């Protein structure tokens, strides 16, 4: 019974169409993220490099996140780093060490940050594998909850962000 409910929930979440929000400011009060290396980082820090930002909320145990991040990494490398990526834990029980091990095992070069309730509230995140796209001007121009993006979808999103 529980398995059937889980499968139904996953099917429902993956059939929700991508939300294309009207552009809205990411907010003047910047959330401070703590990276797994122990440094503090804000979205404004990333935007100050002149690149748009993708924030990806993940868990180390999420198979959709695993697949999604791998695909994002491939497209990110094709795009020669034209966007900044910040990966944030959605699971408050995951330690910085667990997240760091996950990152290092997969050779990801982006910053990974610990769970951050302020960010979850600010960006209205309700599940892992949520993606937020922020334009160079700091506007949230893309938001999607649970679900996998394929290679072409990631290319389109990164193209949308770099041309905005």
* CB neighbour class for 108 (10 Å; exposed up to 12, middle 13-18, buried from 19): middle
Enumerate domains of the chain plus CATH numbers.
2-162 (3.40.30.10)
Nearest of 1, 161, 2 to residue 85 by alpha carbon: 161
- Flag whether pLDDT at 47 surpasses 80: yes
Q: What are the start-end ranges of the E strands in 35-152?
A: 40-41, 53-58, 84-89, 112-113, 130-134, 139-144
Confidence tier at 139 by pLDDT (50, 70, 90) = confident
Summarised one tens digit per residue, pLDDT across range 28-42 is 468 889 999 999 999
Helices 151-162 and 63-78 sit at what angle, rounded to 10 degrees?
50
Q: Which of 5-9, 93-97, 145-149, 155-159 is the most confident on average?
A: 93-97
Q: What is the pLDDT of residue 60?
A: 93
Considering only residues 18 and 119, tell me which one the structure prediction assigns the higher pLDDT. 119
pLDDT mean over 66-91? 88
Q: What is the pLDDT of residue 113?
A: 94
Average pLDDT of the chain to the nearest whole number: 78
Confidence tier at 155 by pLDDT (50, 70, 90) = confident
d(CA 135, CA 26): 9
pTM for the complete prediction?
Answer: 0.78
Percent of the chain predicted with pLDDT > 90: 26
* CB neighbour class for 120 (10 Å; exposed up to 12, middle 13-18, buried from 19): middle
Please say whether the beta carbons of 88 and 59 come within 8 A: no
């Amino acid at each position: 019974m529980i398995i059937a409910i889980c499968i139904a929930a996953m099917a429902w979440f993956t059939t929700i169409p991508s939300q294309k929000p009207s552009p809205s400011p990411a907010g003047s009060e910047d959330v401070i993220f703590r990276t797994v290396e122990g440094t503090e980082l804000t979205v404004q820090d990333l935007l100050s490099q002149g690149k748009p930002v993708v924030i990806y909320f993940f868990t180390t145990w999420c198979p959709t996140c695993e697949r999604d991040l791998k695909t994002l990494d491939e497209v990110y490398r094709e795009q020669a780093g034209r966007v900044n990526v910040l990966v944030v834990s959605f699971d408050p029980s995951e330690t910085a060490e667990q997240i760091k091990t996950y990152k290092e095992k997969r050779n990801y070069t982006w910053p990974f940050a610990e769970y951050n309730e302020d960010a979850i509230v600010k960006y209205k995140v309700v599940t892992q594998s949520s993606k937020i796209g922020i334009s160079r001007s700091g506007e949230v121009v893309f938001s999607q909850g649970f679900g996998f993006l394929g290679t072409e979808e990631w290319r389109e999103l990164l193209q949308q962000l770099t041309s905005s």
